[in-house]
Amino acid sequence: MKLVQGTAPVKVASRRVTFAHLRDREEWLGPLMIAPAILYIVLVVGFPFFLAIYYSFSDITLGSRSLGFVGLKNFAAVFGNTNFRTALWNTFVFAVGSQLLVLVLANMLALALLKDFRGKWFFRLLILLPWVAPISLGTIGWLWILDSTYSVINWTLQALRIIGPKARLIWLGVPYLAMGSIITVHVWRLLPLATVIILAGLSSIPRDIHDAAQVDGASFWRHYFQITMPLLLPVAMVALLFGVVFAFTDMTVIYVLTRGGPYDTTQVLASLAFFTGVVGGDTAEGAAISLYLFPLLLAVAIAFLRIARRSEVT
C-alpha cells in the first residue's frame, strides 16, 4: 500500500509509528516478521558454514593460535587417508541403502493408510511416534534392543528356534550386522516423515484418475507404476531429498550405537569429521572432511528439485 506523499496528515502519522500503523505498512511489516528467521539462519547456519569453509583451507588445530592459509592441502591429505575412503564408501552405502528402504516402506505404509479401516487413527499415531520421540532417546532404546547380552531380538530368535539356544548375534560388533543395524534404526527414524509426505501426495491425486485407470483395464502394478508413481514423483522427490541430505549429514544414530566401529566399518563422513575435528583436535582436517560432500549434495538437491518441478502436474 502506498501513501500519498506531501500532505500534512501523512507526515503526522509517520512520526508516530505505533504498531497499529505498522500493521498497515507492508513494506515494514514484511521485513520485520521475516527478520528473526534470517537472523537465525545467518547466526546458526551461515556463520558456522563459512567458518568451516575458511578453516578447511587453513592449518588451524584445536590448540594452535595461528591461522595460516594452506590452500587445498587438507583436502588432498584427507583423500590420501584410507580411513576417509572407507568412510566415504560407508556414507554411500548408509545413505543409499536407508533411502531405498525408506522409499519402498513409506510407499507401502502410505498406500495401506490411504484405505479406510477400523482403528486407522491408531496406526497413524503409532507410525508417527518415532518422529515425535527425541532422536537420541529413541536410539538409546535401540542400543538396548541391539545389546550383545540383553538383545530382545536374540531372545525372540531363540524362542522361535531360528537360532540355537546358546547362539548370540552381536548386532553392533560384527561389520555387516552393524551396518545393517544402523541402517535399520535410521530407516525407523525417517519412515514417519516420508510416510506422511507420501500420504499427502497420494491423497492429492484426484479419485477420477484412479477410477479411469481402473476402467481402462490397468492391473495393480500397471496402475501403480504408470499412474500413481509418476503423479507422486514431485512429492516423493521432496521426501527423498530430505532423506538423502539427512543420511549424508547426520551422525546421531551412529554416534550413539557404534561410534563408527567395529574397525571403522560404520564410520561415515559426518562422524569421521566429528572424531577428527572435535575429538582429535585437527579442526582444519575435520572441516575439510565435512565439506567434502557439499558440492555433491548441492548438485543432488538442485537435480531433485528440477525433476520435481518438471514433473509437476496441473
Partner 1 sequence: MATVETRNIRKSFGSVQAVNGVDLSTKEGEFLVLLGSSGCGKTTLLRMIAGLEKPTSGEVLIAGEVVNEMPPRARKIAMVFQSYALYPHMTVFKNIAFPLKAQRMGTEAIRQKVEWAAGLFGIELLLHRKPRQLSGGERQRVALARAVVREPAVFLLDEPLSNLDAKLRASARDELQQFQRRIGTTTIYVTHDQVEAMGLGDRIAVMQHGKVRQIGTPMEVYDEPADTFVAAFLGSPPMNLMEGKDCLVGFRPEHFLPKEAFPMTGAAPVPFRVTRLEYLGADRLLYGVLERPFPEQKVIARLPSTVSIPIQPGERYEFVVQEKDLRFFDRDAGHRTEARPLVAQFA
Q: Is 114 in the site for partner 1 (CB under 8 A)?
A: no
Backbone conformation region of residue 205, classed left if phi is above 0, alpha if psi is from -120 to 50, else beta:
beta
Which window, 92-100, 178-186, 201-209, 296-304, contacts partner 1 (CB under 8 A)?
201-209
Binder of partner 1 out of 43, 204, 214, 301 (CB under 8 A) = 214
Shortest separation between residue 195's beta carbon and partner 1, angstroms: 23
Q: According to CB under 8 A, which one of 227, 268, 270, 287 is a site residue for partner 1?
A: 227
116 interacts with partner 1 by CB under 8 A: no
Write out the three cell numbers for 68.
Answer: 595460516
SS3 58: strand
How many Å from the N-terminal Cα to the C-terminal Cα in the chain? Answer: 32
230 near partner 1, rule: CB under 8 A: yes
Mark residues 1-40: x for contact with partner 1 by CB under 8 A, - for none.
----------------------------------------
Residue 186: closest CA among 126, 90, 111, 101: 101
Would you say 77 or 218 has its CB closer to partner 1?
218
> 8 vs 215, which CB is nearer to partner 1?
215
Q: Which residue, chain included where needed, has cell 550413539?
A: 256
Closest by CA to 302, choosing from 239, 248, 237, 254, is 237
Strands (E), 142-228: none
Minimal CA–CA distance to 292: which of 244, 236, 249, 254?
Answer: 249
Q: Assess contact for 84 and 298: CB atoms under 8 A.
A: no
Q: Which positions from 273 through 312 interact with partner 1, judged by CB under 8 A?
A: 311
Q: Whole-number minimum distance, CB 125 to partner 1, in Å?
A: 25
DSSP state of 46: I
Q: Name which position in 136, 148, 203, 226 contacts partner 1 (CB under 8 A).
A: 226
Residue 225 as a binder of partner 1 (CB under 8 A): the answer is no
* Contacting residue, 105, 133, 170, 218, with partner 1 by CB under 8 A: 218
Rounded Cα distance between 172 and 180, Å, is: 9
Q: Does 209 bind partner 1 (CB under 8 A)?
A: yes
Q: CB under 8 Å to 274, separation ≥6 — which residues?
A: 251, 255, 286
The residue (of 69 and 117) whose beta carbon lies closer to partner 1 is 117
Of the ranges 114-122, 175-183, 208-216, 237-245, which one interacts with partner 1 (CB under 8 A)?
208-216
Cell of 157: 530368535
Quote the least distance from Cβ 278 to partner 1, whole Å.
Answer: 47
Q: Which of 50, 126, 148, 211 binds partner 1 (CB under 8 A)?
A: 211
Please list the residues that pair with 69 across neighbouring strands: 58
CA 278, 294, 140, 156 torsion: positive or negative?
negative
Least distance in angstroms from the C-beta of 108 to partner 1: 22
* Binding segment (CB under 8 A) for partner 1, from list 36-44, 162-170, 203-211, 280-288: 203-211
Determine whether 81 is exposed, middle or buried from the number of CB atoms within 10 Å of its CB (0-12, 13-18, 19+).
middle
Q: Which residues bind partner 1 (CB under 8 A)?
A: 206, 208-209, 211-219, 222, 226-227, 230-231, 311, 313-314
